Structure 1
Amino acid sequence: MRAAFACDPAQSRGREFPVEQSLARGPRSAFQRDRDRVVHSIAFRRLRHKTQVFVAPDGDHYRVRLTHSLEVAQIGRVIARALGLDEDLTEALCLAHDIGHPPFGHAGEEALDHALERFGGFDHNAHCLRVLMRLESPYCEHEGLNLTWEMLEGLAKHNGPVGVVPWALAELDAAYPLELTQWGSLESQVAALADDIAYDNHDIDDGLRAGFLELDELLTLDFVADQWRAIERKFPGAPQERRLRELVRSQIGLMVNDLIGETAVRAKGMASAAEVRGAGQATAAFSTGMAENERRLKAFMYARLYHHPQQLHTAERARAVTAELYAAYAQDPALMDAGWQASLPGQEPQRSRHIADFIAGMTDRYAIAAHAKIYGRTPEGLRNV
């Protein structure tokens, strides 16, 4: 049953470029088409080789942007179904939310932001919209994937209403207004929190596997320790590795159930998706207690994993590689792929932004290979697992 406050594909505000119905392929809703367009895109496939926590990991068991996005989508669908939201829109938002990340994750983003400082900077969330609306163009009729308004506004407001609007998002919003000062749909809010739930807990799994986190340190968080003690009582003879994976599942379940319960209370009585957008505050949320636990968990993960000395060293090397790629292409655009050379604008800021678009589309391994080709050596210090 669709809730009154859910987005309805039959009532979608449409797409930037009108499409003839005769061109529609298969019995799919507008939001199902959005999901399929994302899944079939080159940009989505590239997430297979983009950093999640660890840069270009040698181990096959560590998460990358693609596996993370799939896990976010699974969590998002569960929450959407429980709340009566549109599952297809929620899933599509979850799958697409990280498409704007350059190689090497936030380290690569920082390097591109610095390189483009005079030209408006670089923001991965705005770049996600730029990729989907302009750069990924497989259709004969128009630029971009031509996703629905609801899909695009949800991605634009992944972190809530947009205060300071980056140049890329400003250009796109001018062409196709997305009401950036309002909250997004409940589907978009759920997708954003599903992202938090996924990386809060799956990064624990990867951090423990890599030896960057120790269980004893993790258990200094009382709410995690409570879950662990319950698991020890329930599975006293189980191998440690299995109990650790049970801990991750238990944490996810706890957060999902809390989010569903709190959001259902906040959304009670809302009669439309428009009411969600105009509420003036988030409708999807954790309870006060869980929000505090989640904040403490994030702080722990930053201190012990994301800002681990080895991670910081690798991130610095990744920033340097990205910056050196940008410098090389800015000095000699002939080093870029032929198609990118041919379409290079002659004026600024378009020229520099075009070079950043090229680099942002790279996977970790492509960026490493490109750097080695230009500088004659494979960059060192980019792998720590």
Structure 2
Amino acid sequence: MDATYAAAHQDPHDDRSADLTDEPAEARWVPEPDKRPGRTAFQRDRARVLHSAALRRLAGITQVVAPMRSDFPRTRLTHSLECAQVGRELGAALGCDPDLVETACLAHDIGHPPFGHTGEEALDQAAERCGGFEGNAQSLRILTRLEPKRFAPLDQPPARLAPRPGRSVGLNLSRAALDAATKYPWPRGGHPLDPDSTKFGVYADDLPVFRWLRSGAPQGRKCFEATVMDWADDVAYSTHDVEDGLYAGHIDPAALRSTEERAELFKVAERYAPGAEPEEFGAALDRLQAEEWWPAGYDGSPRGRAGLKDLTSQLIGRFCLAAEQATRARYGPGRLTRYAAELVVPTGVRLECAVLKAVAVRYVMQRDEQAQLRARQRIVIAELAELLVAGDPGDLDPVFAAQYAEAEDDQGALRAVIDQIATLTDASALALHGRLVSPSKP
């Protein structure tokens, strides 16, 4: 077992496993009174994420098409808002607190760095010496540390699982909200089925808050609200990315009937549904193509645009209703929350979603110009990390300069640099890179 994984499930003060806590789902890492009585804890959580600078920053982060390269591109912010709408309604239909699910959906991509997944991969390489980089782990770090709103009291007495006196606790969301936003509830190397997985939800130095929010949770298992958020994410981006690809003219629906094209498409789909056979993908695509709302083409006309909107509405309704009905069939009526249930998504629907993801990847993201753009973006991230590590700490924003100065070792200093880069937008990353590579002469 990975040492970091084992550490995540131990008491920070001894070698025994962490005990269950009696704190409720609404508890906050640092207790605080509500300034407006009558609001629920989850309404407060939603408001805090919605008003955060970290969420606004997502307006400048690539979703599929880079911001400013099109008049109406979807960004990580618009995707998060759309995900939140899908998740809120699906969660409410299943008995979840809708504000809790919406908070998780709004926060699920808040840790994405410049250039989306391309930036994530480049930062993971740059951060190898301090434990790597993962957008979901960065989300937890932002919510519980980097987005300054609350601090632990300076006179706080030492206690198990309590934050260090005087340190930032970020937005200080409730335990349930942080848990619902945790898509991968394990540290690096701790995937319950695949230790080599690059997906994880917490860095080593954020384990104290992770232990606190996960106390009493089944090891390695997502809470119900997190599974709703995860499916809402899949539904939103699979349908909207196809809509964007059709709108931009990159996807030709007629090509999806070609035997050769389908064979290549299903190779891409395998990454989203490992183990599925080409015949299963073919049946999934056939089901979608047989629907009257499936697009025969797109001509940019008002009727064509309305058709695209109907396509996304039909797909979202299809995918969410299937999950709702299958989950109810297993668990019956009543409220489904926390660890009382797991979201059930029929295999056929998952395969349909996987095919849509593959369509967007093959015809939008794998275009030659996109590959060239991603190569340039990787260079920008790598050079930013090298320049900031080797340069003057004054090049960092004040909050990260302070973090750099307080670092106890080189790994801590590198993490401060990684945090700085991760909080940039696409545009500000390019601007900072240009300033550091070619500083203006006096």
TM more than 0.5: yes
Counterpart residue number, 2:98: 87
Q: Is the 8 A contact 2:225 2:337 kept in 1?
A: no
Correspondent of 1:199 among 230, 237, 243: 237
- Report deviation, 1:313: 1.6
Q: Is the 8 A contact 1:102 1:109 kept in 2?
A: yes
Counterpart residue number, 2:126: 115
Aligned residues: 357
Question: What is the CA deviation profile of residues 256-290 of structure 1, one whole-angstrom value per residue up to 9, with x for unaligned ones?
Answer: 111111121233278874643xx6xxx21321221
Summarize the Cα distance change of 1:117–1:140 in structure 2 as closer, same or farther, 3 Å threshold.
closer
1:174 aligns with 2:208: yes
- Of stretches 296-305 and 186-195 in structure 1, the one that deviates more from structure 2 is 296-305
- Of stretches 336-345 and 78-87 in structure 1, the one that deviates more from structure 2 is 336-345
- Report deviation, 1:297: 2.4
1:127 aligns with 2:138: yes
Correspondent of 2:169 among 143, 149, 155: 143
How far apart are the structure 1 equivalents of 2:97 and 2:338? 15
Question: What is the CA deviation profile of residues 125-183 of structure 1, one whole-angstrom value per residue up to 9, with x for unaligned ones?
Answer: 00100011011112355521111111112222358995458594443333441147242
Q: Is the 8 A contact 1:34 1:151 kept in 2?
A: yes
Q: Is the 8 A contact 1:198 1:252 kept in 2?
A: yes
Q: Is the 8 A contact 1:34 1:148 kept in 2?
A: yes
Q: Is the 8 A contact 2:185 2:200 kept in 1?
A: no
SS in 2 for 1:239: helix
Structure 1 vs Structure 2 CA RMSD: 2.7
Counterpart residue number, 1:42: 53
Q: Is the 8 A contact 1:153 1:180 kept in 2?
A: no
Question: What is the CA deviation profile of residues 75-104 of structure 1, one whole-angstrom value per residue up to 9, with x for unaligned ones?
Answer: 111111221211010100000000010000
Identity of aligned residues (%): 36
How far apart are the structure 1 equivalents of 2:99 and 2:45? 8
Correspondent of 2:411 among 331, 344, 349: 349
Summarize the Cα distance change of 1:239–1:123 in structure 2 as closer, same or farther, 3 Å threshold.
same
Summarize the Cα distance change of 1:368–1:238 in structure 2 as closer, same or farther, 3 Å threshold.
closer
Counterpart residue number, 1:248: 312
How far apart are the structure 1 equivalents of 2:401 and 2:203? 24
Larger RCO, structure (CA 8 Å, separation 6 or more): 1
- Of stretches 325-334 and 293-302 in structure 1, the one that deviates more from structure 2 is 293-302
Q: Is the 8 A contact 1:12 1:30 kept in 2?
A: no
Summarize the Cα distance change of 1:338–1:275 in structure 2 as closer, same or farther, 3 Å threshold.
closer
1:362 aligns with 2:424: yes
**Which letter does structure 2 place at the counterpart of 1:340?**
F
1:18 aligns with 2:78: no
1:52 aligns with 2:90: no
TM-score for the superposition, normalised by structure 2: 0.74
SS in 1 for 2:290: helix
How far apart are the structure 1 equivalents of 2:95 and 2:335? 13
Summarize the Cα distance change of 1:43–1:180 in structure 2 as closer, same or farther, 3 Å threshold.
farther
Counterpart residue number, 1:312: 371
How far apart are the structure 1 equivalents of 2:395 and 2:335? 55
Q: Is the 8 A contact 1:158 1:188 kept in 2?
A: no
Counterpart residue number, 2:282: none
Counterpart residue number, 1:210: 248
Q: Is the 8 A contact 2:181 2:229 kept in 1?
A: no
Correspondent of 1:260 among 305, 319, 324: 324
Provide structure 1 residue ranges, at least 5 long, that are not aligned to the other structure.
1-9, 378-385
- Report deviation, 1:231: 7.3
Provide structure 2 residue ranges, at least 5 long, that are not aligned to the other structure.
1-22, 153-167, 263-284
Correspondent of 2:81 among 67, 70, 73: 70
Larger fraction in helix: 1
How far apart are the structure 2 equivalents of 1:11 and 1:119? 33
**Which letter does structure 2 place at the counterpart of 1:363?**
T
How far apart are the structure 1 equivalents of 2:256 and 2:364? 11
Counterpart residue number, 1:4: none
Summarize the Cα distance change of 1:162–1:174 in structure 2 as closer, same or farther, 3 Å threshold.
farther
Q: Is the 8 A contact 1:218 1:224 kept in 2?
A: no
TM-score for the superposition, normalised by structure 1: 0.84
- Report deviation, 1:11: 4.9
Summarize the Cα distance change of 1:269–1:76 in structure 2 as closer, same or farther, 3 Å threshold.
closer
How far apart are the structure 1 equivalents of 2:385 and 2:339? 44
Correspondent of 1:300 among 359, 362, 365: 359
Summarize the Cα distance change of 1:198–1:133 in structure 2 as closer, same or farther, 3 Å threshold.
same
Counterpart residue number, 2:350: 291
Q: Is the 8 A contact 1:156 1:180 kept in 2?
A: no
Summarize the Cα distance change of 1:376–1:231 in structure 2 as closer, same or farther, 3 Å threshold.
closer
How far apart are the structure 1 equivalents of 2:201 and 2:240? 33
Q: Is the 8 A contact 1:157 1:183 kept in 2?
A: no
How far apart are the structure 2 equivalents of 1:314 and 1:230? 31
